Structure 1
């Protein structure tokens, strides 16, 4: 029996795309978006922690396999898949990933069902910036960016880019100025994040809350899990999503 077996399988269709979703729990809504290579046991385990904290968690499966440990072979397979899919941006700057609209639709549906101030959205690694793009929609009240790594930091411009179109960045800044804070987590020596935490600080000011850990590791809430990281995410959700 795998960890995912205790979750309810569903699907969501929007913008011409359909992806499986896994749901569990009760309480305010939180969308947890997996990293590369997919819905590993570490990601599912983190989702279970959010469920246990009192949330209805929905985890979409956007690519990769389900279950099992983090493995380099699976990373290579997942990367080869996402690199040829038009739903994801990889190197483009000043461009929002096409996957954002599907995720915003998922957030609207969950918020419409559960009510309250809004839903949480957490992305990690390849999907780290997706939560920022989702913030364009008013249904997202608690965006969390765990080691956002796209566009791939090839050169200074890409390393600083937020994976947002100018229009979406303007909307994100508008919402931030109105009080919607953004939580970001990373290891300070993680080259994959580039300099985009500096960009976030410049663009969002005090609305960007950064939590940083020493070292060159990568996955703050999964493979290289930091208890403080998990605690800060749950506290952020509690502050922003409680009725």
Structure 2
């Protein structure tokens, strides 16, 4: 039996500068949450984490942006995913002070889910390569609970990139206004993770008390999956409960 057999397959299309369509998988009932997979894609552990969010009483939508759904985490899958993202114009990799182009598609997906389900808004969670995407989605008022798990783009090569939030100045200002209006941001990382750079320090400075920072000791990267920290999972569930069931 496939890990995604109990999920409803679909797709979402957004027309901005150009028309973009990506597959999606949906499951559950309750407030909406968009979970954006890490590199290399919708791995078994990403799906397992999503199942926990479903079991906690949420409608979860899993976009499939790159990689092969259900392929196990490993060198071959990572290489394939990076080949896809490196040639795609939908994702930024090294540029600073810009918002990743896929943000428009993700915001559209969040709006559609919120329009359907109502409530205070939807949750958005990104991991690793997509970790900062949840922050970019926060520009849209439909996102009420953004979670950044080990955000790693732009790649932390040099101090400027290591501190960058993968947002344009205008989008950063929108995020700050949303935060000032009461929308908090949860961030999770291993303290010594070189891939996340110093961007949590930037979030501390830009968002102040609206940024809830969680740093784990030891070595690791994938807080919610490959090097799972149960406290991190618990903090995510508590955050969604507080923000989406109010």
Q: TM-score range by the shorter chain?
A: over 0.9
Match of 2:8 in 1: 8
Could you tell me the TM-score, scaled by structure 2's length?
A: 0.98
The count of aligned residue pairs is 243
Counterpart pick for 2:49 among 46, 53, 57: 46
Moved more, 129-138 or 60-69: 60-69
Matched, 1:107 2:105: no
RMSD: 0.6
Give the 5 Å matches for 1:78-117: 78-117=81-120
Task: Give 1:69 deviation, angstroms.
Answer: 2.2
Partner secondary structure for residue 3 of structure 1? coil
Moved more, 208-217 or 233-242: 208-217
Mind listing any 5+ residue stretches in structure 1 that lack a counterpart? none
Q: Distance in 2 between matches of 1:2 and 1:217?
A: 28
Q: Distance in 2 between matches of 1:48 and 1:236?
A: 17
Partner secondary structure for residue 19 of structure 1? strand
Native 8 Å contact 2:71 2:77 kept in 1: no
Could you tell me the TM-score, scaled by structure 1's length?
A: 0.99
Q: Distance in 2 between matches of 1:161 and 1:238?
A: 29
Mind listing any 5+ residue stretches in structure 2 that lack a counterpart? none
Q: Distance in 1 between matches of 2:136 and 2:71?
A: 29
Task: Give 1:18 deviation, angstroms.
Answer: 0.4
Task: Give 1:68 deviation, angstroms.
Answer: 3.4
Match of 2:40 in 1: 37
